[in-house]
Amino acid sequence: MTTITRDRSLIHHTGWGYFPVAFLARLPFAMMVVGVLTLVSSATDSVALAGLTSGAVGVGVVVAGPLIGDLVDRFGQRPVLLPIGIANGVLLSLFPLVVLSGLPDAAILAAGALIGLTAPQAAALSRTRLIAITRERVAEPRRERTLSRVMSYESAADETAFVVGPVLVGLLAALFAPWAPIAIAAALSFAFVTAFALHSTAALVDRAPAPAAGRAPLGAVLSGPVLLLVAATFGVGLFFGSTLTSLTAFAKASGRPELSGLLYGLMGIGSAVLALTVMLLPSRFRLSWRWLVFSGVLVASAAGYAFANDLGAVTVMLCLMGLGVGPTLVTLFSLAGERSPAGRSATTMTLLGSALTLAQAIAAAVTGAVAETASAQVAMLLPVVAASLVLVLGLVNSRVRTPVDGAARSARD
């Protein structure tokens, strides 16, 4: 890849239009699990089948994610993402027909799995794309700060998408029909995943894919330091899924079920805002320490949430939880950018994204069952478990020794 105009900012190379396209391209991914759950439960009157189908979507995502990342690392983003986005749009369009036509449960489960297998990995590939452009085209004096801003922005965009997605599903299902969220997700996949694949920034990244000789073997992604990040991201996904589901159960038990989406949105907004402020933290505040500090905030606030007994207290705790989860997610993806083996950035990022999505689906199913069989208050303990897992893994990470320290590698690369 040529390295001309290194004195220009990242925006010069991407253009302002890149960011709304990349954000909208990740919405189908954020909508599909909840959308499938909503449609199947409404059409079949079976919460069990709905949970299994959304779980099949999650399994499909986690199976295909690393494979898609490997293909991208080999052949570039555009040749891989374009057909996948089209296939996903087609499968989402057909899914309401499969569910509403009275086909056997096995057919519904298979359709859900296919949706997950073709899930567009726009968030992971956007990170990979911006990191590559920054490292190749931004001058060294401003590179470290630009990489920090990229990670902060991308995590904030993820937070926003994971809030907007479920809320959009709920609104469309309530205002139109249970199949409407899936139809909109299909349209978004056709339009914006395609636009993201065809955007000029893809050509910048794909122009010179890493040669096979310089690309680490796929097994290198499964190293201990990278798998530790995957496990921690899985813990964050468990936190998201258990919080949304337990909050829904609590709001319903309080007689205000319509407030669950709004309250969850408060956590997401605070999380996204603080994720953006991570770029202002000094480089001497190392990533390993950020992981411990912000996951500690997450555990403390989740404990307060678990023992809150009215909507006012829950609202306060949700805002505090947002202060912990956003920076934690930024930290994990920043470490992933540093630890990804040579030529395996897309594989690493898609692996983390897949873990996040699968964990959300699993946590939603488990938390829903706990709320139904025990109580909403018991279900509200599960985010504490998820947050504690992230903190424990942060303690393990503090003992990990990697060849290159974070900021140094970012600046050097």
Q: Where do we find the tokens 């922005």?
A: 153
Q: How far is CA 231 from the centre of its chain?
A: 14
* Predicted local distance difference test score (pLDDT) of residue 192: 94
pLDDT digits (tens, 9 = 90+) for 89-135: 999 999 999 999 989 999 999 999 999 999 888 888 888 888 888 87
Q: Are 120 and 29 in contact (CB under 8 A)?
A: yes
pLDDT digits (tens, 9 = 90+) for 190-236: 999 999 999 988 877 765 455 554 566 656 666 778 889 999 999 99
Residue 183 lies in a domain: yes
CATH code (residue 275): 1.20.1250.20
Mean pLDDT over 282-305 rounds to 90
Q: Which residue has the higher pLDDT, 14 or 140?
A: 14
Q: Are 168 and 27 in contact (CB under 8 A)?
A: yes
Residue 4 lies in a domain: no
pLDDT cut 90: percent of the chain above it: 26
Q: Which residue has the higher pLDDT, 374 or 110?
A: 110
* Predicted local distance difference test score (pLDDT) of residue 235: 95
* Predicted local distance difference test score (pLDDT) of residue 409: 42
DSSP 260-329: HHHHHHHHHHHHHHHHHHGGGS-TTS-HHHHHHHHHHHHHHHHHHHHT--SHHHHHHHHHHHHHHHHHHH
* Predicted local distance difference test score (pLDDT) of residue 216: 65
Tell me the residue ranges of DSSP E strands in 1-104: none
* Predicted local distance difference test score (pLDDT) of residue 47: 64
Confidence of residue 373 (pLDDT cuts 50, 70, 90): confident
Q: Which helix (H) or strand (E) covers residue 407, if one does?
A: helix 406-412
Q: Which residues contact 174 (CB under 8 A, 6 or more apart)?
A: none
Residue 96 lies in a domain: yes
Residue 5 lies in a domain: no
DSSP 18-44: HHHHHHHHTHHHHHHHHHHHHHHHHHH
Residue 374 lies in a domain: yes
Mean pLDDT over 128-147 rounds to 80
Whole-model pTM above 0.75? no
Question: What is the distance between the alpha carbons of residues 371 and 350, in angstroms, rounded to a whole number?
Answer: 31
Residue 355 lies in a domain: yes
Using alpha carbons, list the distances in angstroms from residue 214 to 73, 125, 148, 217, 401.
11, 20, 26, 9, 23
Structure tokens at 23: 């954000």
Can you tell me whether residue 2 is helix, strand or coil? coil
Using alpha carbons, list the distances in angstroms from residue 129 to 136, 151, 208, 236.
11, 12, 12, 23
Rounded to the nearest integer, the mean pLDDT of the chain is 81
Q: How far is CA 65 from the centre of its chain?
A: 12
Residue 1 lies in a domain: no
Q: How far is CA 341 from the centre of its chain?
A: 21
Q: Are 82 and 72 in contact (CB under 8 A)?
A: no
Question: What is the distance between the alpha carbons of residues 294 and 274, in angstroms, rounded to a whole number?
Answer: 11
In the chain, the number of structural domains is 1
Range 103-111 contact pairs with CB under 8 angstroms and sequence separation of 24 or more: 105/49, 108/40, 108/44, 108/49, 108/53, 109/52, 109/53, 109/56, 110/56
* Predicted local distance difference test score (pLDDT) of residue 19: 92
Weakest mean pLDDT among 123-132, 263-272, 284-293: 263-272
* Predicted local distance difference test score (pLDDT) of residue 218: 59
Confidence of residue 1 (pLDDT cuts 50, 70, 90): very low
Q: Are 191 and 85 in contact (CB under 8 A)?
A: no
Report the range out of 102-111, 164-173, 238-247 with the highest average pLDDT: 102-111
Residue 411 has pLDDT above 50, yes or no: no
pLDDT digits (tens, 9 = 90+) for 60-71: 888 888 788 888
Amino acid letter, residue 167:
V
Look up the domain containing 153 and give its range.
11-412
pLDDT digits (tens, 9 = 90+) for 70-91: 888 888 889 999 999 999 999 9
Q: Are 35 and 182 in contact (CB under 8 A)?
A: yes
Question: What is the distance between the alpha carbons of residues 10 and 115, in angstroms, rounded to a whole number?
Answer: 33
* Predicted local distance difference test score (pLDDT) of residue 37: 80
* Predicted local distance difference test score (pLDDT) of residue 217: 65
Q: Which residues contact 215 (CB under 8 A, 6 or more apart)?
A: 73, 74, 342, 343, 344
pLDDT digits (tens, 9 = 90+) for 33-64: 778 888 888 888 776 788 788 778 888 888 88
pLDDT cut 70: percent of the chain above it: 88
Q: Are 120 and 85 in contact (CB under 8 A)?
A: yes
Residue 3 lies in a domain: no
Residue 264 has pLDDT above 80, yes or no: no
